[in-house]
């Protein structure tokens, strides 16, 4: 007699039973049949930092649709599953868990921390795989990988050495995204942006010859200790006669030049921009063009360096308050305005990123981007919808060297 239809749908009973049937039948297993046309998707491996979210659900549903469609069409379809160690992102999670226990990395040492990292992987890596299975994902689970597996690690080392031998990996002193909490550089892709309410401090920078002053605005007065110039646009008629003159930097009383550079937007603020090569990526590029001195005022954990007298040892926000007070005493503040702007934060700990000039390892991206652009232009790779070609070209044609130091 047929089983009575349940009054309510029980997903656990139905879905678990059907998924077990699929697994037992090896329906997701790719056999590498030379008679069949191959179709492969390598899953973007989820980080083992916790659990899957809605973004993973959408992305993996789309992949599942594609792989099942090709499988039904007779392709030898492989959906390769795996998880990613996620490096410092996972480290941050483990450190946070350890802090609740009252212990630090230093307390347990390198080997002790690695042991905890592998325990974390077993706990959360397994949970993520089970979540993917609960979604009905038709991955070839016989081929599941982890990005720190022996094979993956060997491949990473081999590629690194090959890139280095080709001159595509180099060590250079450039401005990077520095997290003062994690004490590491992070790539541009790892910087998140948050809307924050701050202030625009309008400041007076007097001319050395006593002929007046320039007014400029900044959201970060604490970086002015490292100012080495003030820039104006070369086409700005208001300032064409002052290029080359010398200013006196308030508080510090250092002489700095007025320079002309196309980077400056004439209609933004006063049209005058303080240039701090050590603490802003755009200023760093301006500094290279004009051979400006790079004066780094912060330690790695974003405190003022010892050589800065009364400000020495202050953190960024403490220094900002003290410097603003001294600017007011010196009569260098014209006005203060509220200002909403995007602030870059570390995607791991959400501390504000500090642009920092540092000697780090980089991958030269332009030689790698060119063939990636060409394969889209010649039709080898196609985007759906096609309009995303433009977005891709914009990314690739404006790509910067990739900081890989961690």
Which CATH number belongs to the domain containing residue 39 in this structure?
3.40.50.620
Q: What are phi and psi of 215, to 5 degrees?
A: -100, 130
CA-CA-CA-CA torsion sign (154, 158, 164, 167): negative
**pLDDT, tens digit (0-9, with 9 covering 90-100), for 258-317:** 999 999 999 888 899 999 999 999 999 999 999 999 999 999 999 999 999 999 999 999
Shared domain for 125 and 230, answered yes or no, is no
Which residue, of 96, 121, 148, is where some domain finishes?
148
Q: Do 207 and 296 share a structural domain?
A: yes
What pLDDT was estimated at residue 5?
76
Domain boundary among 94, 129, 148: 148
Task: Provide the pairing of β-strand 191-206 with 333-346.
Answer: antiparallel
What is the number of structural domains in the chain? 2
Task: Provide the whole-model pTM.
Answer: 0.73
Whether residue 194 is found in the same domain as residue 129: no
Residue 132 pLDDT: 95
DSSP state, 177? E
Give CA torsion, residues 240, 245, 248, 254, to 10 deg: 130
Whether 164 is in a domain gets the answer no
405 near 361, Cβ under 8 Å? yes
In this structure, is residue 179 part of a structural domain? no
- Within its chain, how far is the Cα of 141 from the centroid? 31
Q: Same domain for 215 and 104?
A: no
Query: Residue-wise over 205-220: b if at least 16 C-beta within 10 A, else e?
Result: bbeeeeeebbebbbeb
List, for the chain, all residue ranges whose pLDDT scores fall below the cut of 50.
Answer: 1
Work out the end-to-end distance of the chain between its first and last CA atoms, rounded to an integer number of angstroms: 64
Cα distance between residue 21 and residue 88, in whole Å: 39
Q: Which of 310, 303, 287 is nearest to 357 (CA)?
A: 287
Residue 290 lies in a domain: yes
Query: What pLDDT, on the 0 to 100 scale, is given for residue 1?
Result: 46
Query: Looking at the structure, do residues 139 and 217 belong to the same domain, yes or no?
Result: no
Q: Are 308 and 180 in contact (CB under 8 A)?
A: no
195, 72: one domain: no
> Does residue 117 sit in the same domain as residue 210?
no
pLDDT of residue 405: 82
Question: Where do the H-state alpha helices sit in 53-122?
Answer: 54-72, 87-101, 105-120
Sorted by sequence, the CB contacts under 8 Å of residue 369 that are 6+ apart come out as 396, 397, 399
Is 342 found in the same domain as 205? Answer: yes
The tokens of 22 are what? 């699929």
Q: Which among 148, 165, 180 is the end of a domain?
A: 148
Structure tokens of 321?
């308050």
Spatial contact of 324 and 169, defined as CB atoms under 8 Å apart: no
**At a CB cut-off of 8 Å and minimum separation 6, what does 275 contact?**
227, 228, 229, 230, 231, 259, 283, 286, 287, 292
CATH of the domain at 268: 3.90.740.10
Q: Within this chain, do residues 193 and 56 fall inside the same structural domain, yes or no?
A: no
Q: Which residues contact 66 (CB under 8 A, 6 or more apart)?
A: 41
Print the domain residue range for 344: 189-355
Q: Same structural domain for residues 132 and 235?
A: no
């Amino acid at each position: 007699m047929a089983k009575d239809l349940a009054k309510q749908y029980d997903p656990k009973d139905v879905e678990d039973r059907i998924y077990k049937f699929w697994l037992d039948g090896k329906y997701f297993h790719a056999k590498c049949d030379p008679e069949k046309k191959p179709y492969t998707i390598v899953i973007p491996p989820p980080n083992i930092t916790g659990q899957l979210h809605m973004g993973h659900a959408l992305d993996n549903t789309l992949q599942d649709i594609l792989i099942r469609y090709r499988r039904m069409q007779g392709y030898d379809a492989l959906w390769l599953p795996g998880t990613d160690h996620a490096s410092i992102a996972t480290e941050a999670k483990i450190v946070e868990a350890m802090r609740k226990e009252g212990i630090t990395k230093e307390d347990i040492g390198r080997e002790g921390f690695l042991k905890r990292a592998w325990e974390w992987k077993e706990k959360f890596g397994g949970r993520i795989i089970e979540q993917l299975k609960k979604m009905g994902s038709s991955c070839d689970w016989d081929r599941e990988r982890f990005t720190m597996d022996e094979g993956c690690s060997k491949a990473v080392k081999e590629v690194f050495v090959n890139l280095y031998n080709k001159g595509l990996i180099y060590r250079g002193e450039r401005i990077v995204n520095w997290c003062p909490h994690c004490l590491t550089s992070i790539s541009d892709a790892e910087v998140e942006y948050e809307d924050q309410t701050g202030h625009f401090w309008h400041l007076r920078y007097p001319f050395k010859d006593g002929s007046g002053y320039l007014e400029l605005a900044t959201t970060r007065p604490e970086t002015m200790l490292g100012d080495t110039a003030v820039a104006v646009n070369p086409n700005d008629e208001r300032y064409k006669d002052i290029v080359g003159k010398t200013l006196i930097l308030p508080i510090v009383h250092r002489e700095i030049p007025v320079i002309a550079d196309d980077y400056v937007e004439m209609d933004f603020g006063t049209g005058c921009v303080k240039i701090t090569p050590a603490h802003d990526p755009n200023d760093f590029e301006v500094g290279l063009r004009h051979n400006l001195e790079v004066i780094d005022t912060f330690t790695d954990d974003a405190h003022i360096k010892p050589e800065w007298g009364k400000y020495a040892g202050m953190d960024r926000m403490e220094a900002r308050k003290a410097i603003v007070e001294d600017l007011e005493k010196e009569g260098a503040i014209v006005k203060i305005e509220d200002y909403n702007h995007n602030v870059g934060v570390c995607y791991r700990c959400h501390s504000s990123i500090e642009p920092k000039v540092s000697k780090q390892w980089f991958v030269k991206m332009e030689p790698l981007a060119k063939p990636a652009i060409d394969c889209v232009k010649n039709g080898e790779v196609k985007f759906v919808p096609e309009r995303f070609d433009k977005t891709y070209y914009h990314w690739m044609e404006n790509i910067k060297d990739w900081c890989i130091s961690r």
